[in-house]
Structure 1
């Protein structure tokens, strides 16, 4: 699954084409125009003098107008560009570190850069009529003036009659209130968004070299902490710059409090935070059901304060992603949603129908060629969010200590997809033992070659799935492991250990 944390600038709205000028004169080659059937046939309109010049450029000499879409640059320093597109976890024959996370899958995060400006093409114009002539040309002008006067009288009379009869014969129905006075019932999308949107921010992260991107975050507490994704702020962790902009346009400088690369969660804090911050209410992601309504808020492709809706498409979806650095992978047992999520939505809240945060939008499934052609990947209805129960625990640890804490079993597992479960490797990373001596797995009797097929009641089909499930727990939790050894199924219980930090 590919993660995303940036967007593109938005082209200005096009101006409307100017109103056309007076209609052009009739072509000069019409020697004998047809008589008007509505006038006396014995008094035809005089023809246009043959020496009258042609009207240049009439009906078609003006240029066609059209909109120009913004262009996208990739990875340009100084703009909202960043690193490459991440991909799904790939199989690996090498053994991961027993303390986890295992070596990451390849890939990176897609980034967009600057944008061009759209607008109308050449202005819409008609050529001015040719010079006036004397003689019968004057008669033609007089007839036209008379017709205009008659038309004006008729139009005025029609307006007066319509106005006088409006109160008695009109069948239209007018709204009793204007848009600003309409009351949205609690639970409607509009009501939920009106309450939640002021507590979301658009985050701009920039590294010391000028590279960066755009993502989203939301108010976590009244002390000015903002929850978001690690890959949104990764560029600014070491000497970079961060800012957070609220929907009302107020912008604050910020700093990274802590980041957890494995969980893909980070917390930043606003400098000079306002005193009236309203944290979003955190829901219970364990109680979410497939089919529940969802609302996502973010800045897709730099379009801040964008709201999309959908449903929970699946739960406990194993997802492995990367921030593009290639150092480690992020694993989650994700909430899947079909709410439109694009690059720039990362770190934003996924809300339920009551406005409670049930997840942090983190990753999208993208096609291998970026969706269409070679452009950046966009939403195909497969978005993934970190369950808020997990993200809440991680964020609180980051605020307390600045470092993440991971649950672990103390064994290295294969990342291959065809093992029928999470197979404990014969050897750990760097020549270390695959099962930590004295660790949780060792105490539970697990050995190299065992294939873990279930953790409690969750089916485990691969190493990444096991990691994601373990990380939904806290260190000290007791879990039941089902595994196969020599073709026979066994169960054992173990107490999860702890590892502090990403390294």
Structure 2
């Protein structure tokens, strides 16, 4: 259960977490007993927003859309409208804006601008509008656990970025990133070491994502002085409205995909100006897996899966401390070296005579198949399927090795699947790709 509101173009705006993993969505108007079928047109899990459409014209009779306003100033009052705790009658809660800053969006684990208000936002409120005057100031979406009466709303710039992206491309386009990890330069000695004059301010580049456009332009130890002409302070913030400051990541995230930005930097004591193309970047280990089934591949009882953060979350609330240390470190820190790269792990061993003794190797990363480094699960699948030698070898983390007689392992696979009542040796996303590649090779031959 959640709340939503009508925006221009006969669309309903709500939170992504309200419709995540949906199979069937029904909506009803305030004061009406009738429920109407809705289709989810677009979902942005990073910004926790979704657009629904209702085909039934009867639903739209007497409906007016709400207009989007501006970011409210501190101490301005907003009214959060919705259905907290799934009640049948509408609820209006008043709150005052206490802070505007980039905040962790819990649902998509992304860092985007949010407005903090001193009104409680409860389950069911999610997706409801925060009204200021006659216009929408934001969308209610989360509260601060452990604190009383602190709620968060998604501000209009983030909402507009999401809606415009969907209108222009027909689907969710994501939020841009430069792929940088930066260090503040608040220490005087650090600034002197990199040749910064007393009047210069900026941040130190410490890491660059190999898949970003910045990787071919910027270098480690560059000092970024300004982004699109806006000077960056030593703590990584830029001016925002009336004597407020915000991290420069906000300027980056508000860019459209494939838009360019000018970056002024200091390198070896000299100033340079570069143009960098910005686009959304995917982490090596996905942060969420909404609206899709997990990928897997089973061979000889060995269950291979791509490492994802939801996989680590299965270790419970304290997953950071209870999940395998090495996998956890890689999930949070390692960067992709090539497009479509995945970290593949042996998640479990379905016991059989053929794999006896290998069960202790579960939860180790798989590095190579027959000496070839694997890129992703599809690649592992192909290497196993195309094995032409008598023996099949997997090289794992910690220099562990699994060796199998290839023909015996193929026979064992169907036996093990039958025993465990598993209908297929691989997930539907891999089997669909394999069928396509097999039909392609058949047509070329």
Give me the TM-score of the superposition, normalised by structure 2.
Answer: 0.49
Give me the TM-score of the superposition, normalised by structure 1.
Answer: 0.44
Q: Which has the higher helix share?
A: 2
